[in-house]
Every structure is written in C-alpha cells, then in structure tokens.
Amino acid sequence: MKISKIIFALAIGSIITVTSCKDANKKTENTEEHGHEHDADGNHKEDKVAVGQEEFNVNGTSKNNEENSVTNEQSNEATIVVKANKALEYKFKVGQYEKLEYEWNADAPLRYDFHGDPEDKDSYPKGYFESYANGTTDAAKGKVTIPYKGSHGWYWKNTSSKDITITLTTKGNYNIIGVIQ
C-alpha cells in the first residue's frame, strides 16, 4: 500500500511538472514568473553562465560539428590593465560550436560582461550581441560552447580611482583579437 502511494505521488508530480512547463509557452509569461525560459518550440533554454560555473551551453549549442572540431587548440595567458575610471574589451575570434575555457582574476572587483558579436551581421538585428555572463566581481571561471562565429570576449569597467590588473587564462581553438579600447 505504501509503495503504491509513493508511485502515485511521483506520477502526479511528473504530470504537474510537464503541464506547468507546457503551459509556460504562453507568450505573456516572463522568466521571473516561471523560473526559466523556453525557446520558440517550447523546449527549455539552457541557463547562462554564473560566476564560477564549470560549463554551460549558449542556446543549446552543445553539438560540435566535424568541420568545427578543435584542431588548433591553444592555451594563453594575458595580463590586462584597466585604467582607473576607464573601460576596455578583450576579444577572440571563435568559430561556431567551438569550446572556450577561461579563468580570469583581478586584483580588485570590476564590472564585466562576457559576450559575443556575430560575424554575419546581416543575419542579426543591427547592433546585436549576446551576453553570456555579467556582474561585478574579481574573478570568473568557466567553459562556453560558442553559439555563432564571431568575436567573443569581455568588457571590463573599472569605476575605482586605481588601475586594476586582470590575469586572463584561456584554452580553445581561437584567434586572439586582443584589447579594444
């Protein structure tokens, strides 16, 4: 009798979960009300990276095409200085579905936005870019599967009265664009 009650409870819980997500396809519901997002087909979208998260996929791009396989994987370390009350970007040219591992540490907290700009500008709205993670911190680490070919990297803003030094370590198949002021 006790086992049948447990099975019944699990079945009801599963039905409620499936029903609530299917009902979430209503265009009027926002992420805050439902707790996560759905794509146009009603499937769950992958969460974007949080500081310290080990691995994530952007827009469900977890597959790696044969033509985009990592053939020239490299590891690099860069020291970047963000001047007092200034901002800059540090970018890489990365192919679609490539993985980029990263870790950065700064000697003080600063505002950051880890994002990508598509190379094929005509296929996206004017000024389009996609943020993967943002916030204010002195360190972040993760691994991202790049959703589209283009330039991907960080915008850092120093709002303090002292220069902040960042050490960025990366691993993947990419070309370094470097600092953009």
| pLDDT tens digits, 145-156 | 999 999 999 999
| pTM attached to this predicted model | 0.61
Give 38: exposed, middle or buried? Use CB within 10 Å, 0-12, 13-18, 19+: middle
Domains, the chain, ordered by start: 2-45 (no CATH), 61-180 (2.60.120.680)
User: Tokens 């039905």 belong to which residue?
Assistant: 15
DSSP H or E stretch at residue 34: helix 31-34
Is the pLDDT assigned to residue 66 strictly greater than 70? no
pLDDT of residue 71: 62
pLDDT band at 50 (very low <50, low <70, confident <90, very high): very low
* pLDDT tops 70 at residue 102: yes
- Taking all residues of the chain, what is their mean pLDDT, rounded to a whole number? 74
CA atoms within 13 A on the CB side of 59: 9
Q: What percent of the chain has pLDDT over 90?
A: 55
Q: Is the pLDDT of residue 63 over 70?
A: no
Average pLDDT rounded to a whole number, residues 122-138:
93
* pLDDT cut 70: percent of the chain above it: 61
